[in-house]
Structure 1
Amino acid sequence: MSMPSAFRRTARARRAVTLAVAAGLGVVAASPAPAREPAAAVDTYYAAARGKTGPALKAALHTIISAQDRLGYPQVWEALKATDQDPSDPGSVIELYTGRSIAKSRSGGGSGEWNREHVWAKSHGDFGTATGPGTDLHHLRPEDVGVNAVRGNKDFDNGGSPVPGASGNRTDSDSFEPRDAVKGDVARMILYMAVRYDGGDGFPDLEPNERVNNGSTPAIGRLSVLKQWSLQDPPDAFEQRRNETIYTTYQHNRNPFVDHPEWVGAIW
């Protein structure tokens, strides 16, 4: 896709941040509340997708959002401290499923700590923590270690029993239902991954389907439920701020379904 020269200059300037990271200077923390990108700039970003639907829209969005910078897995720790910062407490992050605010310093793998949840479970396609889908901030979120273990690599669906320590979440043997406040977030993260990773860059072709128990196949269900969740829970200020931080400070690409949730129905 050909981008306007002014937009390319902005993108080059932003990429300097990532080059600094690669040089060993560390991840640059995002500001607590980055300004929203002007509507005209967002429109320009998606110009090649305008007027398209179905497979043509999906293909155009894939091309647009594939122009991104990538983080290594260790750098994700620091990035999440910015993308998921508690708006009311700069020293804490908000856990995805529990909704709890927890100190940024309490990251790790122990009980009562938070770790890096792959919303598109990394075993679905077996991409692990490889730079690319395994480190893509658009689907990585802070979560309580114990609750993350309960979710595991389960597909998404409605129903099940309450998850201990995570009010509003439910689970059974083969699926996980997040709390109402983040159902749309989960759906839009999954659908972003399906558009971004289509098998053309050495990673699996990720696709949503209508199944649970997808195991190691590069698929997650259920699509009909994810579409319902996206409608039920439209993007809120936290999700929009997160999308902006990833774009302006880290990967320099956007989740199109946060900016245009109507595109979920236009593609699927």
Structure 2
Amino acid sequence: MKKSFTLLTFLLCSFISWAQIPAGYYSTATGTGLTLKTQLKKIIDDVNDGLASEHLHADQGYPALWTLFTHSAFRDNYYENDGSLLDMYSENPSGIDPYNYTLTSQQCGNYTGESDCYNREHLIPQSYFDNYAVDPMKNDPFFVVPSDGKVNNDRNNFPFGKVGTATYISQNGSKRGNGINSGYAQGYSATVFEPLDEFKGDIARAFFYFATRYEDSMDNFFSTSNASTCQAKNMFDGSIGRVFTNPFIDILVKWHTDDPVSAKETAINNDVYYNHQTNRNPYIDHPEYVGVIWNSFLSNNSFKLENTVSIYPNPVSNNEVFISTLSELKSIVLYNINGQIIQEINNPSKINEAYKVSNLPKGFYLIQLASENESITRKIMVD
């Protein structure tokens, strides 16, 4: 079960997470929209773009994933704390796991049912890109994850989405069935696979990473993938820009927002960077980048303020922060950690499709945003 934190603990954990990002790693990520996505791509890809702080993606090959999955970051140090493999298809976040993987001898292998073995699941199915090329996509642990072999097979290569009526349910409650075709998932009724709520954000951020890291190949993946066998192709639009079709942009943004970055994701991000392939998932380091890039493409009018707001950059530089949201804000209030109001703006105006708060002193703050009928609070740090 996810832990509850006090405000102080929350801010301290955030500081620790930010502190592990290499200095200057995102210094060239200054744009908005699709410009920002391309800037991030140049930071995390394997092409030397001559950036001031550039750590090229160093592909380690497919077999190296087995060793990576033995690292502490991929083990259960968050729920039962038993060091077993943290598999999103066998983990029960609120109770006893139906089974665990503890030994490397349990790697697949053949299987006849759940708990027989674990393998390397491509969250973006390999059939989507392997007619174009296989390396380094086949080997990238930011979207190739350890999972139960049987459930991975039952997921097949269907899109991730919101299930209406389930035709299959795994032992931990992951399910497959028809797309619900309503709410934030309006527009798709074919078969989808839905993981537990606990891991939906993890999966969404893996897709956003894939769309960014391999941006300049997305049109080639789409044109060469086998549409008749790769059902997940329905999630993609064939562009190198927005990348995803509706309603899947809506679904991924919703999952990203509802399931914030976890300690597990932060640990994996650092482990992959420092000990494996020397690049990072920007959407784990800076969750607000998702909204900055994809909010303008959302189609579902049922999104609330909390699902569309992005605050960037965060940590704040140059003593000013920008706020992007589809909602009209009535007020912006900045509090310090003692609850004192530092700055209050009523009826703010947008400049270039974003609200701006300036003259921010260094420190940790909470920023409260209010629209006509609702309000949300987010944390920011000013360098």
Shorter chain as denominator, the TM-score bin is 0.7 to 0.9
Using the alignment, how far apart are the partners of 2:222 and 2:28 within structure 1? 22
Residue 64 of structure 1: aligned partner: 43
1:225 and 1:175 map into 2 onto residues whose CA distance is: 12
Matching of residue 249 in structure 1 with residue 266 in structure 2: no
Aligned pairs for 1:232-247 within 5 A? 232-247=258-273
Aligned to 1:94: 86
TM-score, normalised via structure 2 length: 0.54
Change (3 A) 1:128 1:43: same
d(CA) in 1 for partners of 2:254 and 2:143? Answer: 19
1:119 aligns with 2:127: no
Q: Note the C-alpha offset of 1:246.
A: 0.4
Given the superposition, is the C-alpha separation of residues 238 and 248 from structure 1 closer, same or farther in structure 2, using an over 3 Å criterion?
Answer: same
The residue that corresponds to 2:27 in the other structure is 47
The reply to whether residue 190 of structure 1 matches residue 207 of structure 2 is: yes
Conserved 8 A contact 1:168-1:180: no
Partner of 2:152: helix, strand, or coil? Answer: helix
CA drift at 1:133: 0.7
Q: C-alpha distance in 1, partners of 2:199/2:167?
A: 16
The correspondence for 1:151, drawn from 135, 152, 155, is: 155
Which residue number corresponds to residue 5 of structure 1?
none
| Greater relative contact order (Cα < 8 A, sep 6+) | 1
Deviation at 1:59, TM superposition (A): 0.5
Indicate the residue corresponding to 1:178 in structure 2.
195
**8 Å Cα contact 2:128-2:232 kept in structure 1:** yes
Decide which moves more: 127-136 or 256-265: 127-136
Whether the aligned pair in 2 keeps the contact of 1:197 and 1:203 (CA below 8 Å) is no
2:188 maps to what in 1?
A: none
Secondary structure (helix, strand or coil) at the match of 1:149 reads helix
Structure-2 residue corresponding to 1:22 = none
Question: Could you give the per-residue CA deviations for residues 111-160 of structure 1, whole angstroms, max 9, x where no partner exists?
Answer: 21000011111111235982211100101111111100011111111014
What amino acid maps onto 2:152 in structure 1?
A: N
CA RMSD of aligned residues (A): 2.8
- TM-aligned CA distance change 1:224 to 1:89, over 3 Å: same
Structure 1: gaps of 5 or more residues: 1-35, 207-211
SS in 2 for 1:250: helix
SS at 1:172's partner residue? Answer: strand
Cα deviations by residue, 1:219-268 (Å, 9 ceiling, x for unpaired): 76622101100000001111110111001100111000111111111111
Task: State the distance in 1 between where 2:108 and 2:124 align.
Answer: 20
Equivalent residue, structure 1, for 2:107: 107
Instruction: Return the structure number with greater helix share.
Output: 1
Using the size of structure 1 for normalisation, the TM-score is 0.75
Of all paired residues, the percent bearing the same amino acid is 31
After superposition, what is the alpha-carbon deviation per residue over 1:149-174, rounded to whole angstroms, capped at 9, x for unaligned? 01111111101416443323121262
Q: 1:128 to 1:144 in 2, by over 3 A?
A: farther
3-state SS of the aligned residue for 2:216?
coil
- Distance, in Å, in 2 between the alignment partners of 1:242 and 1:103 is 18
CA distance in 2, matches of 1:68, 1:147: 30
Query: What amino acid does structure 1 have at the position aligned with 2:68?
Result: A
* Residues 44 and 213, structure 2, Cα contact 8 Å, conserved in 1: yes
* Alignment gaps of 5+ in structure 2: 1-15, 46-55, 92-96, 179-190, 224-229, 295-383
Match of 1:103, SS state, is coil
Does structure 1 conserve the Cα–Cα contact (< 8 Å) formed by 2:132 and 2:221?
A: no
User: 2:17·2:266 contact (CA, 8 Å) conserved in 1?
Assistant: no
Question: Is 1:161 the equivalent of 2:166?
Answer: yes
Deviations 1:189-217 (A, max 9, x none): 011000000235997379xxxxx944497
Q: Rate the CA distance shift 1:238–1:42 in 2: closer, same or farther, 3 A.
A: same
CA contact (8 A) 1:162 1:170 kept: yes
2:160 touches 2:194 (CA, 8 Å); kept in 1? yes
More strand by share: 2
Q: Which residue number in structure 2 is paired with residue 32 of structure 1?
A: none
Question: For the Cα contact (< 8 Å) 1:84–1:141, is it kept in 2?
Answer: no
Comparing 80-89 with 193-202, greater Cα deviation is found at 193-202
Separation (CA, whole Å) in 1 of partners of 2:268 and 2:260:
14
Quote how far apart the aligned CAs of 1:186 are. 0.3
Shift of residue 109, structure 1, vs aligned partner: 2.6
2:337 corresponding residue in structure 1: none
> Equivalents in 1 of 2:252, 2:25: separation in Å?
25
Count how many residue pairs are aligned between Structure 1 and Structure 2: 226
